[in-house]
Chains A and B, each alone.
Chain A
Amino acid sequence: METITAVEMKHVTKRFGEVVANDEVDLKLLRGEILSLLGENGSGKTTLMNMLSGIYYPDDGQIYVNGKAVTIRSPKDAFDLGIGMIHQHFKLVDVFTAAENIVLGLNEGGRLDRKVIAAKVKEIADRYGFDIDPNQKVYDMTVSQKQTVEIVKVLYRGADILILDEPTAVLTPQETDKLFAVMRNMKADGKALVIITHKLHEVMDVSDRVAVLRKGKYIGDVATCDTDPQKLTDMMVGRAVELNIDCPKAEKVTERIEVQHLTVRDKDGIPRLSDVSFTARGGEILGIAGISGSGQKQLLEAIAGLQPCAPESHILYKDEQWNPDAPADDLENQKHVHELIGKSPLDISKMGVALSFVPEDRLGMGLVANMDLTDNMLLRSYLTGRGIFADRKKPKKLAEDVVEELEVVTPSITTPVRKLSGGNVQKVLVGREIAMDPTVLMSAYAVRGLDINTSYTIYNLMTEQKLKGVAVIYVGEDLDVLLELCDRILVLCGGQVSGIVPREEATKEGIGLLMTQFRKEAQV
């Protein structure tokens, strides 16, 4: 096939405040090809494509479509240029049929003749091999069917440049194969396709060319036939960086939480975690690595008692009296093993399990934004106190201590936490959780959005807790930090454990590879 350039982006830059999401990116897309856009979380893949589809407007640089310089200011502009993007979150009206969703907002004139529309939808479906019933309601559809509606919607509007943002994230392998078959048909029809993904085997499977982004920068592009997963991983994660985070060994390491066959399904029945088994030990930091959305949130919430789990799952908490050396049939010793599945957070704390949780959503799940420091401290101790009155003295003291010890910058302890900066909010939250004298401390993206100094404060706090014998579970996104901070790193990929690597054996490339492809043999 003759190569005609469909889209060219030259020196495109996009900043969000201080953060540079895309830095002078050059990208070329040809007609009749499938281009994979590969990169870690936050590498700017979606941002770049959003500029093509009109959701963001580039700060700098120029976009050419079919050789002409264009300005794309809105999704409508993008449609007019034949660019259609299928987002990760579907934009469909539940109570409408497939056909109604497809024609929504179109100004084709005439009345709404459902038969004519259905025929047109059928024609597109037959041409590319989609399986779609125009009269099916969206609420009756599987995720894969909804995705089909989204793609047909874009094609119905005459798009010939299609961008798919992580289309396979929600699909089963069979559905993925079907999608890829359709994508190949569209390619054969001369359409240009971009697939945003971080699954290497899919890149190898479906695409003709791979473009790699890292931290907003364009690393380069290669023809898929000239590369292999290892080379792509190297391009994606780059070289390891020295951070000099201390990682002393704790004196005593004991098993604290044993997770067995943990399976969590979301409300649509899609497994978010499947058959996850591992042990978290007191005196150790267990790092959890993985592309975001691989099940990290569900894992922590399952342990905290916030996620319903499948019946075969077990989360066993071994308290401080538990003797690791006792034989397995020692009934006395078994009394010190507690099942956490099916317990609410309150049950868990009543059982004497000191679990501290620093969730990803600090001002949503962690703290109440409109309440002041004292009241937020009180959230952990409101059940204590005399009669119907809560004891406010201790939380107030705790708030004062946290402000002093962690150097929280706040006008006073009666300031609502929403007025604090991100780093200070995190210090308040971490300070409160640590003050509970936990035996297990879980944190999700604890340093996200924090400056270097605060990040190091948090790292030191984690290490301090570890040395006290606490089992620390640290979900992180920066591999360099995970490699230096953690004693072991568990890698999640698509809700499954793709490997548990001890600090000594962990390399950035190895972890990167585990993050992007599930390898059974790598499981420990």
Chain B
Amino acid sequence: MKVLRKMSLLELKLFAREPVTVLFTLALPLLVLYVLGGVFNQPAEPGVFRGVSGPNYYLPAYIGLVAASIGLIALPVHIAGYRERGVLRRYRASAVPSISIFGAQVLVAFVAASLSALVLIGAATASWDISAPRSLPGVLGAFVISVLCFAAIGFLLGAVLPSPRAAQGVGVLLWFVMFMISGSGPPPEVLPGSLNAVGNATPLKHVIVLIQDPWLGFG
């Protein structure tokens, strides 16, 4: 427990000391939010965007997208880097419990995702008419599940991919494909049915619906 606490604190400090990572975590979702939120800034209309306005549709979707970018890109690159450079060997040789290594990463993933989500919510609320979540506990629960789900995928990718470069390539590819076809990029309504069928099978699609439903009062 003491080791887990120390390791978590350390990993948080290491995260804060990487300006590029912090910037990426905070700026990328904002960029996407403003581009797509601006393009699809249309009022609520039945049959499009699940019947809500563009920004109201995209905000919860981007919170899911943030969880995906952490799980698909940041986490695997970090883990593969630790393995390639011998950090994991160093920890293992000194019997650092695996639970503290993974626990600390999950904690950092939560902190990074929460920061991004707060920035997104703040920016979106300032720019558009955003409705408050219908069920806050529902949204919070969905957020926790989303981050855990993508963190698990991240550990898997980090364990399987041989190097940080490979992890970066595969991660960005997966993230981008999911971004495009899972309802967080172009509206699902404009995509052909076959792409939507594939999109429905991605974890990001499920995470987005999981966060949107309690926020927008569906399900």
Q: Do A and B bind each other?
A: no
